[in-house]
Amino acid sequence: MPGPGSDHLNGLDPRAPLVLDTRELGRRPGSQRQVSLTVPAPADLGIEVLSVPEGAPVELDLRLEAVMEGVLITGSAAATLEGECVRCLEPIRDEFEVRFQELFVYDDIRDSAEAEEDDEVSMLEDDLVDLEPLLRDAVVLALPFQPLCQDDCPGLCSECGVRLLEQPDHVHEEAIDPRWKALTTLTDEAQHDPTD
Ligand SMILES: [Zn+2]
Ligand SMILES: [Zn+2]
């Protein structure tokens, strides 16, 4: 239960799993702190075809370092990805690790109006850091746009939909009738783009 006076609507929730309190670090440039924690994955961590299931553990290893302007966070996140091969639709399950680094600027050094215009700048809010956008960006950037079960996945048979990795030698008895084959070739040539 949030206590009286808690004001989570207008700021970061210090109890949220991906919100980090940097107060212990202090503001003396050069001071450092190592933080290791496991957090539940937020929803939609990844891309449509490959993502970390919501609630699955994400292991974070972070180094917090006080610098003149704010807190520099360097770290890595490790988790399990689930998705499917875009060619053969086979489920994919893969361990992955991403590294990231971000400077969070003290909100009392940079005024927030200025910062709002520049969304490249990450800000601390009352010494709290929201790691979620950082984690999200790092994960999405690290993922392949077209996940494959293996690099040379041959996909599915265009005639019957069987997964060709499982039946690499599979052929169809009903090969195209040679008479039709001649016609197919003609059609292919006719459809060839003349500007190509
Ligand atoms: Zn595949
Ligand atoms: Zn087939």
Q: Which ligand is nearest to the CA of 166?
A: 1
Give the pLDDT of residue 2.
Answer: 46
Asked if the model's pLDDT at residue 48 lies above 60, the reply is yes
Grouping H, G, I as helix, E, B as strand and the rest as coil, residue 14 is coil
Please give the distance, rounded to the nearest whole angstrom, from the Cα atom of residue 129 to the centre of ligand 1: 39
φ/ψ of residue 100, rounded to 5: -150, 160
Please give the distance, rounded to the nearest whole angstrom, from the Cα atom of residue 173 to the centre of ligand 2: 10
Q: Which whole-number Å values give the CA distances from 76 to 34, 58, 86, 101, in the listed order?
A: 12, 10, 27, 9
* DSSP string of 124-186, one letter each residue: -BTTEEE-HHHHHHHHHHHS-SS--SSTT---B-TTT--BTTT-TT---SSPPPHHHHHHHHH
- Residue 58 tokens, joined: 């994400």
pTM value? 0.74
Please give the distance, rounded to the nearest whole angstrom, from the Cα atom of residue 159 to the centre of ligand 2: 5
Which neighbouring-strand residues pair with 74? 63, 101
What percentage of the chain reaches a pLDDT higher than 90? 62
The answer to whether the CB of 130 falls within 8 A of the CB of 162 is no
Please give the distance, rounded to the nearest whole angstrom, from the Cα atom of residue 12 to the centre of ligand 1: 41
- For 56-103, write each residue's pLDDT tens digit: 999 999 999 999 999 999 999 999 999 999 999 999 999 999 999 999
Please give the distance, rounded to the nearest whole angstrom, from the Cα atom of residue 92 to the centre of ligand 1: 9
Please give the distance, rounded to the nearest whole angstrom, from the Cα atom of residue 145 to the centre of ligand 2: 27
Please give the distance, rounded to the nearest whole angstrom, from the Cα atom of residue 91 to the centre of ligand 1: 8
φ/ψ of residue 140, rounded to 5: -65, -40
Please give the distance, rounded to the nearest whole angstrom, from the Cα atom of residue 163 to the centre of ligand 1: 8
Determine how β-strand 32-40 pairs with β-strand 45-47: unpaired
Please give the distance, rounded to the nearest whole angstrom, from the Cα atom of residue 160 to the centre of ligand 1: 16
**Closest listed residue to residue 38, CA positions, set 144, 135, 140:** 135
- For 156-196, write each residue's pLDDT tens digit: 998 899 999 999 888 887 655 666 666 666 555 555 555 55
Please give the distance, rounded to the nearest whole angstrom, from the Cα atom of residue 185 to the centre of ligand 1: 29
Q: How confident is the model at residue 120 (pLDDT cuts 50, 70, 90)?
A: confident
